[in-house]
Amino acid sequence: MTEKNDRKELEATIEFLENSGLRGSDLPYRFLVDMMPDTVWVLDLDMTPRFVSPSSLKTLGYSPEERLRQHLSDMVTPETYARVIYVLQEELKKEQNREVDPDRIITIDMEYYHKDGHTVWLENRIRSIHDRDGRIIGLFGVSRDITDRRRLEGMLRERIKELSLFRSVANFIESTDSLEEVFQKTVDEIPRAWRYPDCACARITLNGYVFQTANFRETDWSIHADITVHGDRLGTLEVCYLSEMPDEEGNPFLDEERDLLKAIAKFLGRVVQRKQDEDRLKESERKYRELSILDDLSGLYNSRYFYKQLEEEIDRVNRYGGPLSLILLDIDNFKSFNDTFGHVEGDEVLSRLGEVIRRCMRKTDSAYRYGGEEFTVLLPVTRCGEGRVIAERIRTTFKNETFLPVPGESVHLTVSLGIAEYRPSENMKKFVHRADQLMYQAKEGGKDRICGEFPPAGRSC
């Protein structure tokens, strides 16, 4: 008896919707139902439609008569149907338990089948229909097409994921100078921007190096994009799905994801290009610094750099202790050689002496063209007596060098050297002056010799 009464109550509601236009006072309601773009409908509790307004034809391609012969499960996708049934059951249960307002309206987005085969998203605003005793006998709803809105929302979500990915990569670049670290963090971040992040993996192959997610595995469901710099292909960026996740067209990747992959690859190419440009700039700066502190003729450091390094070495000795020695040498009779054979041959002598000094000194030592034909050698952590070995090596090696300023005539030149050891808290100029005086003492003593403050006598040549 109750079921029969429920049906009568529901039919009364439907009759109002269908026939209200027959009474003049209800004509506006019927007009609104027929003319509004949204679809008005009534379902019984079995999810069978009892009323559908004419707009369903335009929205979904089905006439009201066709709709009345269908069940809700025939109208929507399986995922939507399962979700809707669950939500409605929960809501009806709350209403029966008087946990919610019986006149409330709930909103559910549902994916419907269009008659021509594609799907349409409708927003459904639903409220329950009650009998005189307040019991639920059906559902009344209004559906609005939100397909375009859903599409735009989806695009917005994708753009947000893309922007988040690019922001993360940009942060990686700012936080480290290591390209390897940037690439590894990038591949770890990429799956989050994909539609199915839980089964996505990524790999970058660049200049023989491979950076990949921990779960990477080659599969049949993959896309890739080339990483290029100035048109040259340097590597590949690849994204795979570990299991097939097709869309409606059987394609596991969205067009937006393909575009995103290309954009990331292009961005990484620019990162590599910027790194290459930075490396070239650093190399140019290094060469410029070298040119600014190097003497072109001898290939040794110049006098300006000598004083800078000497100041640092003296500061080190005064702070931490330890010895420091300085060799100052001059080419014997160089002015006479220059006047006789010319400056070109004189320049050859200076260049050759620079080569000799570089060959004879240790890795920890540094050599400088002090000015004209004078040269200096800094000997860190070296006693004067130990430095004498270096000085003697330079003297004998240069003496054995043969110069041919004119065809058939060979010339040998010599150097005079002074070597001094730094005294604690000594003035830098005084230290250099002592080495200079020792060098002149070597010249006055006959040239081609070394003068220094050697133990035990304290000074000898």
Domains in the chain: boundaries: 2-145, 151-276, 303-452
Nearest-angstrom CA–CA distance, 216 and 225: 17
For residue 329, is pLDDT > 80? Answer: yes
Report how far Cα 350 is from the mean position of its chain's Cα atoms.
50
**pLDDT score recorded for residue 16:** 47
As given in the structure block, the two tokens for residue 389 are 């070995």
Residues 308-336 have a mean pLDDT of: 95
At CB < 8 A and 24+ separation, what contacts does 359-368 make? 359/397, 360/390, 360/393, 360/394, 360/397, 361/390, 361/394, 362/390, 365/390, 366/301, 366/309, 367/300, 367/301, 368/295, 368/300, 368/301, 368/302, 368/303, 368/305, 368/306, 368/309
Same fold, 2-145 and 303-452: no
Nearest-angstrom CA–CA distance, 199 and 389: 70
Residue 369, H or E segment: strand 366-371
pTM: 0.46
Residues ≥6 apart with Cβ < 8 Å to 274: none
pLDDT tier for residue 209 given thresholds of 50, 70 and 90: very high
Contacts of 461 (CB under 8 A, 6+ apart): 441, 442, 445, 449, 450, 451, 452
Question: What contacts 24+ positions apart, CB below 8 Å, involve 313-318?
Answer: 313/378, 313/380, 314/422, 314/426, 314/428, 314/431, 316/380, 317/422, 317/424, 318/424, 318/425
CATH number of 151-276: 3.30.450.40
Q: What percent of the chain has pLDDT over 90?
A: 58
Positive or negative, the CA dihedral 144, 147, 151, 157 is positive
Give 226-254 as a DSSP string: EEEETTEEEEEEEEEESS----TTS-SS-
Question: Nearest 5 degrees, angle CA 435-CA 436-CA 441?
Answer: 95
Q: CA distances (Å), 219 to each of 117, 188, 243, 252, 284, in order?
A: 31, 18, 8, 12, 45
The C-alpha atoms of residue 309 and residue 451 are separated, in whole angstroms, by 23
Local confidence band at 25 (pLDDT 50, 70, 90 cut-offs): very low
The verdict on domain 2-145 having CATH code 3.30.450.20 is yes
Determine the Cα–Cα distance for residues 409 and 403; give it in Å rounded to an integer: 8
Q: In this predicted model, which residue has the larger pLDDT, 253 or 273?
A: 273
| Residues annotated as part of the active site | 373
If DSSP codes are grouped into helix, strand and coil, which group holds residue 324? strand
Q: Measured on CA atoms in the order 411, 412, 416, 422, is the torsion positive or negative?
A: positive
Dihedral of the CA atoms 358, 362, 365, 368 (nearest 10)? Answer: -10
For the chain, the average pLDDT equals 87
Asked which of 124-133, 175-184, 384-393 is least confident by mean pLDDT, the reply is 175-184
CATH number of 303-452: 3.30.70.270
Weakest mean pLDDT among 15-29, 184-198, 201-215, 250-264: 15-29
Predicted local distance difference test score (pLDDT) of residue 27: 46
Which region among 3-17, 155-169, 174-188, 395-409 has the lowest average model confidence (pLDDT)? 3-17
